[in-house]
Structures are given as C-alpha cells and as structure tokens.
C-alpha cells in the first residue's frame, strides 16, 4: 500500500488540545508511515452533550499553536466553515472532493471513541471512505474496543495490510499520556498548573486570553520571564 501519499486525519473538539492528542498523532504516524497529519477542530461536535467552553476559532488557534513546531502537521478549518453538526462522514467526503482517495486517508481515533463507532452518523457506509487507525488510550484498550465491535473484525489488522482492496481498520498499541481536556479545564478553573499537559505555547495562549477560567497570576514567575 506504500507509494501513494498518506494523510492522517485527527478530528476532535480540542477544548483544549493536549499532549494526549499529540501522542496519538505520533503513534499513528509511526505505525502507518503517514506523510502528513491534519488536525480538524470540530465546529459542532455531535457526540458532545454540552457546547465546547472555547469558541471554534479559539480552539483552532490553540491547535495551530500546538503543531506549529511539528513538521508534517497542520490544522484544517474544514469543519469550522461548514454549518451544522461536524460529522466525520462529511469531512471525509470533502477530502475526496479535493482529490484524495479512500486508500490515502487514515482517520485517527482513540479506542474509546472506536468502541462507540456504531453510533456515528453514516455508519457503516462511511467506513469505506478511509482507513481507520485505532489508538490504545489509558483506560481504553484495543481488546476492549475490538470486543465492542465484533461485526468489524474482518476489516481489522495489526501492522501493514496487503496493498489495494478496501479500507482497513489498523489497531495500534501505544503509550499515550493520560490527559483529558476536562481535567485541564478543571485544573485551570482552580488555578492549578497545566505545564505538562499541553504544549508551552498553548498554555501561554490560554493564560493570556483567560480561557477556561485561567487567571493572570497562574505561573506568575514564568509569565514575567
């Protein structure tokens, strides 16, 4: 299957983006030799019970800062410019319209999200629009995800699959850091540091713009130096 350019797609609310997201991207790139990874902030995440705390443009800015020094990574506004719920199926079809083929696209998601994939809009037809890369997450193992999706086992593989054919589901064991956007927001609301949870540029932007209840004097010494 190597030869054609490979594009990874990592969608999410990114409220805010954190090192766990970057770990997942790195694991996917290493496992499938991806040429580029597109981070896609959702405008209206359909599986989220409440609206994001930051605006879509603030989340886009945070994601852009997170990948600024990561060659081969970039952020897309493809879902920010589209009205209505941010469905993965629509995003993949938009990439097809740009000239990408299904076997060139690799949609990256955590094992926890994959376990619920039967609830996604357009399932199962959207599975033919790209490969999936399922990344193990703290508390959500590959085995758990596979057990929840027995109907998809024929598509699953570990490592490279033979070239051609239909899109596959690649299962990737990885040590991604145990970080959540919810936990970061809770720490910021109680004036606790987030230094090891997000890239430094993301932390600075959050503090400067008082996102998520961040206060000026959090890490005051670092802000003055």
User: pLDDT tens, 55-96?
Assistant: 999 999 999 999 999 999 999 999 999 989 999 999 999 999
User: pLDDT tens, 142-196?
Assistant: 999 999 999 999 999 987 765 678 999 999 999 999 999 999 999 999 999 999 9
What strands, in cross-sheet order, belong to the sheet with 131-135?
Answer: 73-75, 36-41, 7-12, 105-110, 131-135, 169-172, 156-157
Left, alpha or beta for 168 (phi > 0: left; psi -120 to 50: alpha)?
Answer: beta
pLDDT band at 17 (very low <50, low <70, confident <90, very high): very high
Interaxial angle between packed helices 19-32 and 56-67, expressed in degrees from 0 to 180 and rounded to the nearest 10: 60
Residue 224 pLDDT greater than 90, yes or no? no
- Outline where DSSP puts E strands in the chain: 7-12, 36-41, 73-75, 105-110, 131-135, 156-157, 169-172
Please, is 15 exposed, middle or buried when counting C-beta atoms within 10 Å of its C-beta (0-12, 13-18, 19+)? buried
Q: What is residue 220's predicted lDDT score, i.e. its pLDDT? A: 43
d(CA 52, CA 26): 25
pLDDT band at 50 (very low <50, low <70, confident <90, very high): low
CATH fold, domain 7-177, is Rossmann fold (3.40.50)
Q: What is residue 210's predicted lDDT score, i.e. its pLDDT? A: 93
d(CA 50, CA 11): 18
CB of 158 within 8 A of CB of 136? Answer: no
d(CA 196, CA 61): 19
User: pLDDT tens, 21-32?
Assistant: 999 999 999 999
Q: What is residue 215's predicted lDDT score, i.e. its pLDDT? A: 66
pTM of the model: 0.91
Q: What is residue 100's predicted lDDT score, i.e. its pLDDT? A: 97
d(CA 114, CA 133): 9
User: pLDDT tens, 93-131?
Assistant: 999 999 999 999 999 999 999 999 999 999 999 999 999
Residue 214 pLDDT greater than 50, yes or no? yes
Provide the residue ranges of all domains of the chain, joining segments of one domain with +: 7-177
Q: What is residue 49's predicted lDDT score, i.e. its pLDDT? A: 59
Q: What is residue 159's predicted lDDT score, i.e. its pLDDT? A: 77
């Amino acid at each position: 299957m190597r030869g054609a350019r490979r594009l990874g797609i990592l969608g999410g609310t990114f409220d805010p983006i954190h090192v766990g997201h970057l770990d997942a991207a790195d694991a996917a790139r290493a496992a499938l030799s991806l040429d580029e990874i597109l981070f896609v902030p959702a405008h209206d995440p359909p599986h989220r019970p409440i609206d994001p705390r930051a605006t879509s443009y603030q989340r886009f800015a945070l994601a852009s800062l997170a990948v600024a020094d990561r060659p081969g990574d970039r952020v897309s506004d493809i879902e920010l410019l589209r009205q209505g719920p941010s469905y993965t199926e629509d995003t993949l079809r938009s990439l097809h319209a740009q000239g990408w083929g299904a076997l060139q696209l690799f949609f990256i998601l955590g094992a926890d999200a994959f376990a619920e994939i039967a609830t996604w809009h357009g399932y199962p037809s959207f599975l033919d629009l790209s490969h999936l890369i399922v990344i193990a997450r703290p508390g959500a193992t590959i085995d758990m995800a596979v057990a929840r999706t027995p109907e998809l086992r024929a598509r699953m593989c570990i490592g490279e699959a033979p070239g051609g054919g239909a899109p596959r589901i690649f299962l990737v064991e990885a040590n991604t850091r145990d970080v959540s956007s919810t936990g970061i927001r809770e720490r910021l609301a109680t004036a606790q540091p987030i230094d090891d949870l997000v890239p430094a540029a993301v932390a600075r932007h959050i503090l400067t713009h008082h996102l998520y209840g961040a206060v000026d004097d959090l890490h005051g010494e670092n802000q003055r130096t």
